[in-house]
Structure 1
Amino acid sequence: MASLRPLRTHPLPKTFFTASARSLATVSPTSSSTSKNDTGTAIVLLNMGGPSTIPEVSTFLSRLFADADLIPLGPLQKYLGPLIARRRTPKIEAQYTVIGGGSPIRRWSEIQAQGACKILDLSHPATAPHKPYVAFRYADPITEDTFLAMKRDGVRRAVAFTQYPQYSCSTTGSSLNELWRLAKKYDPEGQIEWSVIDRWPTHPGLVSVVARHVEEKLATYPADRRDNVVLLFSAHSLPMSVVNRGDPYPAEVAATVHAVMEKLGFKNAHRLVWQSQVGPSPWLGAQTSNTVESYVKKGQTDLLLIPIAFTSDHIETLHELDLEIIEETGQEGIKRAESLNGDPEFIQALADIAKSHLEGTQRSSKQMALRCPMCVSARCEAQKNFFATGKHPE
């Protein structure tokens, strides 16, 4: 097990404190970050993560292809997973080298966690101090190390805050399955009280930031072409076996797209497309790369790609979209909207989502308790019961 480094302190974006000060202007001057709860509240950002350095790529891929929740490979998963990981490692190492030697997702996640907690200490002092943690599924800080660090820190209340705005059993579900497993192993007495922010696909803050990033990029097109730019919202695809089980992810991604287009006034034509298919089995389409190629052949060369299911840049934006799709087309009219990253308005949105959750009485959304129609997983049922009640089944 890798040792967990303390959550690194990153300088927040220069505009962060100015924007935060405006949004916190309504907080009472008598508010204090002194909490009635001495141990405070852990805000745990959940994500798949990415290798921060090239030597981490192999381990990252091994963990990723071992996870049947994300990439179901059937009864031969324990054999096929390592084989696929080994074969893909050199190619993926080369891709991470090109984008700077590793994924920036850890840096952005830590900035987001720290920024949201700073705001929460002021806007919701009753649950302060708010302690930022990052728990990655396949990269450091791996979820197990984060869980053990929380135990050492004496955490008594924790909010598992998914950084997948749209819920899928393959992403948020996998992260929660892992937390549930670790709670059984390391905290059978339930010393840490968990609640879950399990989805937020149409939160006004998320929608507003994405729409603004789209408008900013549209402004770089000549005025006479601007309204004819086709918007391609790109999200990570899913195997059709997961979709056909009844996974809510496609519908929730579509809800985000509709909310953003509504914010934009439906001024441009748009489509929702899907990226990052792995392996020969059928995946949800149309694929982003095929869509771009098809439109270019039809003469539509003003296209704006919009990452709609990611909270920060990583290999799918920096390499797959920017290099494999946009750069290789050689079309100056094909561009990408900025990712959420350290945008102050987005960090404020994270704090607002957490604040609303802390002020509520529910451990999770009602949607989370509802299993997929074709789900037969006993693990899924047990995990959902745990996060709904806070107790392990007898």
Structure 2
Amino acid sequence: MALCTPLTNACKRATASVPSASATSVLKPCSSRWRRGNATVAPPVTQDATSSKGPTAMVFMNMGGPSTTDEVGDFLSRLFADADLIPLGRLQSYVGPLIARRRTPKIQKQYAEIGGGSPIRKWSEYQAAQMCMILDKTSPETAPHKPYVAFRYADPLTEEMYGKLIEDGFGAGKGGRAVAFTQYPQYSCSTTGSSLNELWKWRNRLEGKRATGEVDPEGSIKWSVIDRWPIHSGLVEASAQNIEKTLATYPKGRRDNVVLLFSAHSLPMSVVNRGDPYPAEVAATVYAVMQRLGMKHQYRLVWQSQVGPQPWLGAQTSDTVESLIKKGQTDLILIPIAFTSDHIETLYELDKEIIGEAEQEGVRRVESLNGNPVFIKALADIAKAHLQSGSACSPQMTLRCPGCVSERCLAQKEFFAGQAKHLSAFSQ
């Protein structure tokens, strides 16, 4: 989650240059654009000569972030309009834009301090492209794998991504398979749920009943979802290795006494009390990482990015750091455990606000996963296992929060779970 708060994070700017996702594209766009309402069933997507079940579109879903300061206003407007992420009640359509306008100048300054924009698009495109290159080798039956990125609040938006899928020969009468791969390792209705709601909306508009008159038209994209992966061994290993690298920067005499603070984006307590699984899944990730580290250090799970007067899940990261320093504990490592790449919450909130204001040499942050090869291999392993499983989504995804009353959420879950009937032709 990102930017639901006063955007309090900062650290080092990601400066590594990465290849563009287009470098690994293996499908050629169609010669003609698909027109909404076109009922003609086109030939199937061209298969690769070495593939019996491909091509496969791999869609990375995330919140996203403005790539330039000029994009901040639109980003905030979309963010505060989303009741799945920031529930503002019946006046959301009025209050959301008002908050966005008031906060835009402040947030623009924060993005300016971390280099003029978020690096999350760069890292997402790089991670998706690298993962697909691995999958082409490890899962040739479903190759070629084509990478896409769909952001909830910033370019490339879900609508843009879906249009690109159609241009590239998926759906709109041509069939083909796509995997929605959430880049939130831990499921929340506010993040993964919101992204899937948006994907479901645009699928209906571009391929479903609103476009063709049919709920499940022939030749539409067949979807499956990787909806959570909080304790995958590769995620745990990559996180643990980064922590060990940071621990190694402390003198040996201090190293064993460093306290580890795992920081994740907080949630309003109204969402937590509704039964959202996010707190439990983040805690599961933390415990798995600590087991990998041998439980040798004291640690806590803390929460960042609270915004507004309503109660949020705590303890807050900033308050915890301040409290521990006052008690004499000045060697602390902050670990962004729910973020898979750098963005405003790491680069400004953690680095500049929390670490910068602490003014303690012993307060440091673990590097984000970004282009970590262990992490990227983990993404490929998760994707391969999913492709081989024949599953449309995890069993857990179809269970609604006990307090959920959203009919949209119900319809979205029913749609993606119902895609299982189409996947037998693609499974191994």
Residue 130, structure 1, aligned to residue 145, structure 2: yes
The counterpart of 1:163, out of the listed 163, 172, 183, is: 183
- Give 1:391 deviation, angstroms: 9.1
The 5 Å alignment of 1:14-29 reads: none
- Give 1:11 deviation, angstroms: 2.5
**Is the Cα–Cα contact under 8 Å of residues 392 and 420 in structure 2 kept in the other structure?**
no
State the AA in 2 paired with 1:276: S
**Is the Cα–Cα contact under 8 Å of residues 160 and 195 in structure 1 kept in the other structure?**
yes
Q: Distance in 1 between matches of 2:404 and 2:98?
A: 28
Change (3 A) 1:33 1:293: farther
The counterpart of 1:209, out of the listed 235, 238, 257, is: 238
Over residues 54-74 of structure 1, what are the superposed CA-to-partner deviations in whole Å (9 max), with x where a residue is unaligned?
100000000000000000000
Q: Distance in 2 between matches of 1:142 and 1:71?
A: 19
- Give the secondary structure class of the aligned counterpart of 1:170: helix
Q: Distance in 1 between matches of 2:200 and 2:162?
A: 11
State the AA in 2 paired with 1:172: T
Residue 104, structure 1, aligned to residue 104, structure 2: no
- Give the secondary structure class of the aligned counterpart of 2:414: helix
State the AA in 1 paired with 2:401: C
Q: Distance in 2 between matches of 1:84 and 1:226?
A: 44
Tell me the TM-score normalized by structure 1. Answer: 0.91
Over residues 41-61 of structure 1, what are the superposed CA-to-partner deviations in whole Å (9 max), with x where a residue is unaligned?
000000000000010000000
Q: Distance in 1 between matches of 2:50 and 2:118?
A: 36
Residue 114, structure 1, aligned to residue 129, structure 2: yes
- Give 1:147 deviation, angstroms: 0.6
Partner residue of 1:173? 193
**Is the Cα–Cα contact under 8 Å of residues 60 and 183 in structure 2 kept in the other structure?**
yes
RMSD: 1.5
Q: Distance in 2 between matches of 1:353 and 1:362?
A: 13
The counterpart of 2:51, out of the listed 35, 56, 64, is: 35
- Give 1:10 deviation, angstroms: 3.8
Identity percentage of aligned residues: 70
Q: Distance in 2 between matches of 1:314 and 1:376?
A: 32
Q: Distance in 1 between matches of 2:256 and 2:310?
A: 37
The 5 Å alignment of 1:239-318 reads: 239-318=268-347
Residue 152, structure 1, aligned to residue 167, structure 2: yes
**Is the Cα–Cα contact under 8 Å of residues 84 and 190 in structure 2 kept in the other structure?**
yes
The counterpart of 1:369, out of the listed 398, 415, 421, is: 398
Over residues 205-257 of structure 1, what are the superposed CA-to-partner deviations in whole Å (9 max), with x where a residue is unaligned?
00000000000000000111111100000000001000000000000000000
Which runs of at least 4 in structure 1 moved beyond 3 Å after TM superposition?
Answer: none
Residue 336, structure 1, aligned to residue 381, structure 2: no
**Is the Cα–Cα contact under 8 Å of residues 136 and 143 in structure 2 kept in the other structure?**
yes
Partner residue of 1:234? 263
Partner residue of 2:247? 218
- Give 1:329 deviation, angstroms: 1.0
The 5 Å alignment of 1:44-63 reads: 44-63=59-78
Q: Distance in 1 between matches of 2:201 and 2:52?
A: 30
Tell me the TM-score normalized by structure 2. Answer: 0.83
More contact order relative to length (CA 8 Å, sep ≥ 6) = 2
The 5 Å alignment of 1:350-365 reads: 350-365=379-394
Q: List runs of 5+ in structure 1 lacking aligned partners.
A: 1-8, 13-31
Partner residue of 2:35? none
- Give the secondary structure class of the aligned counterpart of 2:335: strand
- Give 1:305 deviation, angstroms: 0.1
- Give the secondary structure class of the aligned counterpart of 2:348: helix
State the AA in 1 paired with 2:240: A
State the AA in 1 paired with 2:411: A
Partner residue of 1:183? 203
The counterpart of 1:11, out of the listed 19, 32, 47, is: 19
- Give 1:390 deviation, angstroms: 2.4
- Give 1:34 deviation, angstroms: 2.2
Over residues 326-357 of structure 1, what are the superposed CA-to-partner deviations in whole Å (9 max), with x where a residue is unaligned?
01111000000010000111110000000000
- Give 1:36 deviation, angstroms: 1.9
